[in-house]
Amino acid sequence: MFCGSRSGSDDTVHALAQDLGSALAAANVDLIYGGAGIGVMGTLANAVLESGGRAVGVIPVGLFSREVAHHGLTELIEVTDMHARKRTMYERSDAFCALPGGYGTLEEVFEAATWTQLGLHNSPKPIGLLDCSPVDRPRFWSGLEEFLDRTVADGFISAENRSIVRRVDSVAAAVQLTTCSGRLEW
């Protein structure tokens, strides 16, 4: 799961994280995420744990020392740096889903997509962008989707590889995504 360590300004993101965490636990799907106890990450992990699920955090030692780490997780894996964090998350995950976040979230989405494109994962791993926005605002991931579509139109990403990253419009669809490891037809 990729999501922000910041809270953002839209409370619907935290409600979405709570719903997703509860649904993951109910479906017996382990949460593998960045290990923070703050922001959207903290909300998601707390929801998983409160619903009886397993939450596994992967956090670089430098962030752990800043007291950012969630200390109530099922498992907390300390790694040397951000590269080791992402590699560990990629190796332990069957699929990926991103909630709204900032640079770190985007970087994780794009690196995971690149690894799938290059065949570096042990099997293709789809990436869902879980969207939520109040009715009076554009969808959070709309601009990114337009950008990705433009890269296809301009010949920088193939239409086949564009399917690696797609928006999912519900918590149920995000949970369903976790069963799609090894294929991108979802």
Per the CB < 8 A criterion, the answer to whether 132 and 12 are in contact is: yes
Q: Which residues contact 140 (CB under 8 A, 6 or more apart)?
A: 13, 100, 131, 132, 133
User: 182: phi > 0 → left, psi -120 to 50 → alpha, else beta; which?
Assistant: left
Give DSSP secondary structure letters for 62-99.
Answer: HHHTTT-B-TT-SEEEEESSHHHHHHHHHHH-SSEEE-
Kindly report, residue by residue over 13-40, the tens digit of the pLDDT. 899 999 999 999 999 999 999 999 999 9
Kindly report, residue by residue over 123-168, the tens digit of the pLDDT. 778 899 998 765 556 688 989 999 999 999 999 999 999 999 998 9
- Number of other residues whose CB lies within 10 A of the CB of residue 41: 31
Q: Which residues contact 149 (CB under 8 A, 6 or more apart)?
A: 162
Task: Give domain limits for the chain.
Answer: 11-177
Q: Which pair of tokens denotes residue 144? A: 């990114």
Most confident among 19-23, 90-94, 114-118, 128-132 (mean pLDDT): 19-23
The answer to whether the pTM exceeds 0.85 is yes
CA distance 97 to 128: 5
**Least confidently predicted of 92-96, 103-107, 140-144, 176-180:** 176-180
CA distance 113 to 68: 27
CATH number given to 11-177: 3.40.50.450
CA distance 6 to 36: 10
